[in-house]
């Protein structure tokens, strides 16, 4: 029996397998309005057909100020909410996956050009906006200097996360993930490299996680009780003096106490000086360390597209879910193919049922089961 293709239940949602499509920024809004369009319908729709048991939207800004770029999706007005509901309804009607949304705020890494245009900060002529952060420290020497959030600013951001969570519920999402990774605002609070505050939100790890925990509480208070709410955390910064796995375990335990349903462990993004040793499953050890310390499910990321490797991560108890990004971009039917490779079963929409290997076994070198007729049964 495949562990990867075994079901798991979080609150009132049951996932038929442990594969997850990770949030992937698309920078594809047709206008600078944060509204999902045909690209997003196609992109999410293709994954919903058979990439994984749970698929996430790209990082979605909770405010205009919190967008990474002008072309990122947002969820702070009715038009954006309606565009997301269109995508969610389509995927629920025709797909076989649960739908999740990742809500985030880019903080000091906002107001940039899309990666295809360099990913560098916008100029004033290009419509740059004022960025915010825990401390008035730019991401890099040539980046915007953010405004340090005061208590009124913190309250506003917290409310923006809560308001976007309410909209996510109305749009029909099954899962919400709070984006606390990749060097964006909540990650900036967690890391001592970007958080140099001297008030109750800076200094010790307990203080640095205070604001992200307040945001989580605000989201949990308005998100339906029967639906899961989790978080993505950059467990280590890969820079000397940055956040550590030990810090992340403190964070994870505090989240568990607050009713967090899963923790998605990634790394890096807060400092351009990061030096990352990249390779297959390179971030799994951090996920495994967190999983060993808490009693809620953990998601692992990082080049896990090989089905046997993904299976081993689950079977060996290093994580409860595996997340794929470029792996499903390359193969939007990853779960189908992984299940076949592992001798397991995956879900297919009815319209695609006849392409399942068992439905035409000769094409896959399988033995067809004898067809039973009425006479044979009698």
* pLDDT tens sequence across 100-158: 999 999 999 999 999 999 999 999 999 999 999 999 999 999 999 999 999 999 999 99
What are the pLDDT digits (tens) for 57-113? 999 999 999 999 999 999 999 999 999 999 999 999 999 999 999 999 999 999 999
Tell me the backbone φ, ψ of residue 112, rounded to 5 degrees.
-125, 165
Residue 221 forms beta bridges with which residues?
A: none
Per-residue tokens: 350: 């009815």
Task: Answer whether residue 67 is part of any domain.
Answer: yes
- Work out the average pLDDT over 23-47: 97
Catalytic site includes residue 47? no
Instruction: Give the CATH number of the domain where residue 247 resides.
Output: 3.20.20.70
Task: Answer whether residue 84 is part of any domain.
Answer: yes
Inter-residue contact 74 to 102 (CB < 8 Å): no
Inter-residue contact 86 to 129 (CB < 8 Å): no
Q: 3-class secondary structure for the chain?
A: CCCCCCCEEECCEEECCCEEECCCCCCCCCCCCCCCCHHHHHHHHHHHCCCCCEEEEEEEECCCCCCCCCCCCECCCHHHHHHHHHHHHHHHHHCCCEEEEEEECCHHHCCECCHHHCCCECCHHHCCCCCEECCCCCCCCCCCCCEECCHHHHHHHHHHHHHHHHHHHHHCCCEEEEEECCCCHHHHHHCCCCCCCCCCCCCCHHHHCHHHHHHHHHHHHHCCCCCCEEEEEECCCCCCCCCCHHHHHHHHHHHHHCCCCEEEEECCCCCCCCCCCCCCCCCHHHHHHHHHHCCCCEEECCCCCCHHHHHHHHHCCCCCEEEECHHHHHCCCHHHHHHHHHCCCCCCCHHHHHHCHHHCHHHHCCCCCCCCCHHHHC
Q: What is the pLDDT of residue 367?
A: 79
Does residue 375 carry a pLDDT above 80? no
Does residue 259 carry a pLDDT above 60? yes
What are the pLDDT digits (tens) for 355-370? 999 999 999 998 766 5
What residues make up the domain containing 150?
A: 8-350
Q: What is the pLDDT of residue 370?
A: 53
CA atoms within 13 A on the CB side of 265: 32
Q: What is the dihedral of CA 210, 211, 217, 218, to 10 degrees?
A: 160
What are the pLDDT digits (tens) for 156-189? 999 999 999 999 999 999 999 999 999 999 999 9
Query: How far apart are the C-alpha atoms of 267 and 286, rounded to whole Å?
Result: 8
Inter-residue contact 238 to 275 (CB < 8 Å): yes
Does residue 373 carry a pLDDT above 90? no
Task: Answer whether residue 205 is part of any domain.
Answer: yes
Average pLDDT, the chain: 96
- Please tell me the pTM assigned to this model: 0.96
Task: Answer whether residue 228 is part of any domain.
Answer: yes
Tell me the backbone φ, ψ of residue 177, rounded to 5 degrees.
-120, 130
Task: Answer whether residue 323 is part of any domain.
Answer: yes
Task: Answer whether residue 366 is part of any domain.
Answer: no
Query: Which residue, among 305, 299, 376, has the nearest Cα to 337 in the 3D structure?
Result: 305
Task: Answer whether residue 157 is part of any domain.
Answer: yes
Neighbours of 378 (CB within 10 A): 5
Count up the domains in the chain and report the number.
Answer: 1
Does residue 371 carry a pLDDT above 60? no
Residue of 184, 201, 251, 348 with catalytic role: 184
Q: Which residues of 222-247 are buried (b: 16+ CB within 10 A; e: fewer)?
A: bbeeebbbbbbbbbbbbbeebbebeb
Task: Answer whether residue 17 is part of any domain.
Answer: yes
Does residue 303 carry a pLDDT above 60? yes
Per-residue tokens: 80: 């954006």
- Work out the average pLDDT over 207-214: 98
């Amino acid at each position: 029996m495949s562990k990867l293709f075994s079901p798991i239940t979080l609150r009132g949602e049951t996932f038929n397998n442990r594969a997850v499509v990770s949030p992937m920024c698309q920078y594809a809004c047709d206008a600078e309005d944060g509204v999902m369009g045909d690209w997003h319908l196609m992109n999410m729709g293709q994954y919903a057909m058979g990439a994984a048991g749970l698929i996430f939207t790209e990082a979605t800004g909770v405010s205009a100020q919190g967008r990474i770029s002008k072309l990122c999706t947002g969820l702070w007005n009715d038009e954006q909410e309606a565009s997301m509901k269109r995508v969610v309804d389509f995927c629920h009607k025709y797909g076989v996956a649960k739908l999740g949304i990742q809500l985030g705020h880019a903080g000091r890494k906002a107001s940039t050009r899309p990666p295809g245009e360099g990913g560098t900060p916008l100029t004033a002529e290009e419509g740059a906006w004022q960025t915010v952060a825990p401390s008035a420290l730019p991401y890099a020497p040539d980046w915007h200097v953010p405004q340090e959030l005061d208590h009124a600013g913190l309250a506003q951001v917290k409310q923006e996360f809560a308001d976007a969570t309410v909209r996510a519920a109305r749009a029909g999402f099954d899962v919400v993930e709070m984006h606390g990774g990749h060097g964006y605002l909540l990650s900036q609070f967690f890391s001592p490299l970007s958080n140099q505050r001297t008030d109750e939100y800076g200094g010790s790890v307990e203080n640095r996680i205070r604001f992200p925990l307040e945001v989580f509480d605000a989201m949990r208070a308005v998100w339906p009780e029967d639906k899961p709410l989790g978080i993505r955390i950059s467990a280590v910064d890969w820079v000397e003096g940055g956040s550590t796995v030990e810090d992340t375990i403190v964070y994870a335990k505090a989240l568990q106490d607050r009713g967090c349903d899963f923790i998605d462990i990634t790394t890096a993004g807060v400092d351009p000086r990061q030096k990352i040793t990249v390779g297959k499953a390179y971030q799994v050890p951090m996920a495994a360390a967190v999983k060993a310390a808490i009693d809620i499910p953990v998601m692992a990321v990082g080049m896990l597209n090989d089905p046997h490797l993904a299976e081993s991560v689950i079977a060996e108890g290093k994580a409860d879910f595996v997340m794929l990004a470029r792996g499903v971009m390359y193969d939007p039917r990853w779960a189908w193919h992984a299940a076949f490779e592992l001798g397991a079963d995956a879900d297919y929409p009815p319209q695609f049922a006849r392409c399942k290997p068992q439905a035409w076994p000769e094409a896959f070198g399988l033995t067809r089961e004898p067809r039973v007729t009425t006479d044979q049964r009698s």
